[in-house]
Each structure stands twice: as C-alpha cells, then as structure tokens.
C-alpha cells in the first residue's frame, strides 16, 4: 500500500511549495546545479538565456531557466551536510512525491545533481585556481549513518584502506564513502583534476586549521595527504560532497561534485581572485552541463 505522507513529515507552505526551498514541482528542472553561497545562484543564472522562476527562503535561493533547449535549476544549499539533508530530500520530494495525494509516485524520476563549490587542496600538485572533480566523497560528518544504504565492494575496499591509514580519535567521526555518478564524471575530464574529496563537519579544526582552539587531531592533514590506495589519493576537502553523494545513493539520483580550489593547505596559499576562479568554474562547467 502507498501510504499517505502526513503534513508533519512533508511540509508544504501556503502556495503548495516544499517548506525550506519554497519551490513547487513545476518550478524545478531535472538537471540541478547546487552551490553553497546564495550569492552564487545569480552568478550561474546570469548565463541562462531565459529565467523562468526565482524563489528564496532562508539561505535557499532557487532559479530555474534555460540555456538553449536545456532546462536547468540552480539552488544554494548554504554550508554543510545538515543543509544537504534538507536540500536533497526536498529536491527528491519535488519529483518523486505527488503533493496532492501525498504519496510516492510509482516511477522514480532520477535527478542529475552537480555541485559547483569551492574547496581546499591537500596535495602540493593540486594548485589554487584549478578545478577538482570528486571521484569519491569521504564523510567525516555524521549525516549518512542516519540512513540505510549499500556500498559497492570497491567502495568498501577504499573505505577500509582509509580507516587503516587515517587515524581518527574514537567518537570524533564515523567515516563513510560513496563514489560519484560515473556517467557524469566521465564528461568532466579535460581541464579537471580527479581525486577523493573529504567532507568535513567544520572549516577550522575539522579541516586541521588551528587559530586559537587546540586540535584533537594534529596529524589530520599529514595523514590525509599521505593516503594512497591503488591509484587513489585524496585531493581536497570541503563540507558537502559526501552528503550529496550519499543521499544520491539513498534516493536514486546521479550526483557529481566539482570544486574550484581556492586554498592549497600544503603550500599555504590562497587564490588571488576567488570570484574569478568561481566564474571560470561556472563558465567551463556550464558549457558541458548544457550538453548533458
Ligand atoms: C566553506 O567556506 C564553504 O565553502 C565550500 C565548503 O564546502 C563550504 O560550504 O563550498 P561552497 O563555496 O560551495 O560553499
Ligand atoms: N572550503 C572549505 O571547506 N575549505 C577550504 O579550505 C576552502 C573552501
């Protein structure tokens, strides 16, 4: 039986839009670009030939429009995987739940979800102003342990290697690992570096940054940089990728995370023009996304 989902579980507002995003089903495309910064949404949609709808509620800004024949939505997630939980579930509900009967639709609609974010590099040879495609996301946050999901044997092997080489204090994190949607990743090769991305539950200590607060894992950066397994290495860290890949697996969507490298933590360098590197990432990636 297809059970009715109660008003308390799937919250719709007065205009019949999903609660946090304030978006209605007809206002969403099936190819979606996520960005962290709400101000980055118009930086993407300014490249649209035509904008159909714009909505904002809290940090969630959503623009839907067209580049040529390609219909696209760009949505801001804010920072962190707690926000990814909200955004991915609400995007999924918009296509896979019938809002009038409040029941799950019989056929799954798969979304293509592509993150265009910023990130810090963990290798000397991943320079600032380069672009990284996350082959995998390793979550040091705590989102995915709340869901049931299956890892492939390859993912299990890589996660096992990670746990053997990166020593986290018991109780600090319960790492999980998911791979990118391969069909999407294959399109972003020329002009992109591929590597494993670590998703952290914070920007400072969880990324090895010591300002005034002492670190419980002073060896974190060194161990992440040294990690090797077969041909895999860790290229960068940020704060959303593993959550996106994880909920993509749980809900059945194809996800890819691409980052502009704004900091290199090994060289201790920061980009001279963050706005320019993000603009370049948007332009280069939209040229590919409009053809998907
Ligand atoms: C931290 O400054 C934020 O920047 C990165 C991190 O993942 C985190 O969200 O991505 P965005 O620039 O897309 O927000
Ligand atoms: N975003 C992060 O999460 N970390 C960085 O170092 C840069 C951007």
Tell me the two tokens of residue 81.
């995987």
What ipTM was predicted for this assembly? 0.99
Q: Is 79 in the pocket of ligand 1 (CB under 6 A)?
A: yes
Segment 144-152 shows an average pLDDT of 98
**Cα of 71 vs its chain's centroid, Å:** 20
The pLDDT tens digits of the residues spanning 189-228 come to 999 999 999 999 999 999 999 999 999 999 999 999 999 9
Structure confidence at residue 34 (pLDDT)? 99
Q: Is 207 in the pocket of ligand 2 (CB under 6 A)?
A: yes
| Residue 1 clears pLDDT 70, i.e. is over it | no
Proximal ligand: closest to the CA of 207: 2
Structure confidence at residue 86 (pLDDT)? 98
Structure confidence at residue 163 (pLDDT)? 97
Work out the burial of residue 215: count CB atoms within 10 Å of its CB; fewer than 13 is exposed, 13-18 middle, 19 or more buried: middle
CA 242 to ligand 2 center in whole angstroms? 14
Element (H, E) at 152: none
Proximal ligand: closest to the CA of 209: 2
Tell me the two tokens of residue 194.
């591929």
CATH topology of domain 25-289: Rossmann fold (3.40.50)
CA 118 to ligand 1 center in whole angstroms? 5
Provide DSSP, 168-226. PPTTT---EEEE--HHHHTTS-TT-EEEEEEE-S-SSGGGT--SSSPPS-TTHHHHHHH
User: Which residue, 239, 141, 249, is CA-closest to 197?
Assistant: 239
Structure confidence at residue 220 (pLDDT)? 96
Q: Is 118 in the pocket of ligand 1 (CB under 6 A)?
A: yes
Which residue's CA is the nearest one to ligand 1's atom 4? 118
Please, what is the average pLDDT of the chain? 98
Tell me the two tokens of residue 182.
């391969």
Tell me the two tokens of residue 259.
């980052």
The pLDDT tens digits of the residues spanning 69-84 come to 999 999 999 999 999 9
**Cα of 13 vs its chain's centroid, Å:** 26
In angstroms, the CA 77 to CA 87 distance is 6
Confidence of residue 2 (pLDDT cuts 50, 70, 90): confident
Confidence of residue 180 (pLDDT cuts 50, 70, 90): very high
The pLDDT tens digits of the residues spanning 56-65 come to 999 999 999 9
Q: Is 44 in the pocket of ligand 2 (CB under 6 A)?
A: no
Which residue's CA is the nearest one to ligand 2's atom 6? 120
Which residue's CA is the nearest one to ligand 2's atom 3? 238
In angstroms, the CA 34 to CA 37 distance is 9
């Amino acid at each position: 039986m297809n059970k009715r989902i109660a008003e308390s579980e799937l919250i719709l507002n007065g205009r019949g839009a999903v609660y946090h995003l304030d978006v209605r089903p007809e206002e969403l495309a099936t190819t979606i670009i996520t960005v962290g910064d709400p101000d980055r949404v118009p930086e993407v949609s300014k490249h649209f030939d035509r904008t159909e709808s714009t909505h904002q509620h809290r940090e969630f800004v959503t623009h839907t429009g067209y580049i040529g024949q390609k219909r696209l939505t760009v949505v801001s997630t804010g920072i962190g995987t707690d926000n990814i939980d909200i955004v991915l579930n609400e995007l999924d509900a918009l296509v896979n739940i019938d809002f009038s009967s409040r029941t799950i639709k019989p056929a799954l609609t798969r979304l293509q979800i592509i993150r265009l974010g910023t990130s810090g590099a963990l290798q000397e040879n991943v320079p600032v102003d380069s672009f990284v495609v996350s082959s995998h996301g390793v979550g040091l946050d705590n989102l995915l342990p709340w869901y049931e999901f299956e890892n492939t044997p390859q993912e299990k092997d890589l996660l096992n290697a990670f746990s053997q080489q990166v020593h986290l204090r018991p109780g600090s994190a319960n790492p999980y690992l998911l791979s990118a949607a391969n069909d999407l990743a294959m399109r972003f090769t020329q002009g992109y570096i591929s590597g494993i991305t670590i998703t952290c539950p914070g920007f400072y200590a969880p990324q090895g940054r010591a300002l005034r607060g002492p670190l419980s894992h002073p060896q974190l950066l060194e161990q992440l940089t040294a990690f090797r397994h077969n041909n895999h290495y860790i290229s960068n860290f940020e704060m959303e990728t593993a959550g996106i890949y994880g909920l993509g697996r749980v809900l059945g969507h194809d996800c890819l995370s691409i980052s502009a490298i704004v900091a290199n933590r090994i060289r201790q360098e920061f980009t001279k023009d963050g706005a320019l590197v993000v603009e370049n990432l948007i332009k280069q990636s939209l040229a590919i996304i409009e053809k998907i």
